[in-house]
């Protein structure tokens, strides 16, 4: 496991734990929001499990990193407050765009972690396939 893979694993784990804590604070402050925040809780729980698995170097952890980071990339908040799409990220660095109907946030940290996780998954699958297809020579 490379150093940057371990750094990615710790980033995903920290993101999930902080996101879980922030969601729990939101639920504690307003119990009526449980219906709106259940998706954030599920993503944070899967992210925590994926982060632990990533630290151990398992491929399933990196796949989980893709699954938990993807919903965090884009958030939408309308001005009228009727409907919004938001998965609570723990760590975020966002590009904010203002539209006539609302605000769209693009989380750069989530985009980088998802891209890096996809690269690791692809590299491991390709190397496993290459190891299987190499002919074995008898000496």
- Amino acid 138: pLDDT: 66
Q: Does 106 have pLDDT greater than 90?
A: yes
Structural domain harbouring 30: 3-133
At residue 90 the predicted structure's pLDDT band, cuts being 50, 70 and 90, is confident
Number of domains in the chain: 1
- Amino acid 137: pLDDT: 67
Tell me whether residue 138 is in a domain: no
- Cβ partners under 8 Å of residue 34, min gap 6: 27
The pTM of the full predicted model, rounded to 2 decimals, is 0.82
Tell me whether residue 11 is in a domain: yes
Tell me whether residue 92 is in a domain: yes
> Which tens digit of pLDDT belongs to each residue from 26-80?
888 887 777 778 888 888 899 999 999 999 999 999 999 999 999 889 988 888 8
CA torsion 51-54-60-64 (nearest 10°) is 30
97, β-bridge pairs: 104
Tell me whether residue 101 is in a domain: yes
Tell me whether residue 139 is in a domain: no
CA 110 – CA 112 distance, rounded (Å): 5
> Which tens digit of pLDDT belongs to each residue from 15-30?
899 988 988 888 888 8
Q: What average pLDDT does range 92-103 have in this prediction? A: 88
CA 36 – CA 40 distance, rounded (Å): 8
């Amino acid at each position: 496991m490379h150093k940057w893979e371990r750094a990615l694993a710790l980033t995903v784990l920290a993101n999930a734990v902080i996101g879980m804590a922030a969601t729990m604070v939101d639920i504690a402050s307003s119990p009526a929001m449980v219906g709106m925040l259940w998706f954030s809780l599920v993503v944070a729980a899967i992210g925590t499990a994926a982060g632990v698995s990533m630290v151990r170097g398992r491929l399933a952890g990196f796949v989980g990193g893709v699954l938990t980071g993807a919903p965090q990339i884009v958030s939408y908040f309308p001005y009228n407050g009727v409907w919004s799409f938001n998965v609570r990220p723990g760590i975020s660095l966002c590009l904010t765009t203002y539209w006539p109907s609302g605000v769209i946030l693009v989380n750069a940290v989530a985009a980088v972690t998802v891209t890096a996780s996809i690269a690791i998954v692809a590299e491991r699958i390709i190397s496993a396939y290459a190891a299987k297809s190499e002919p074995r020579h008898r000496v």
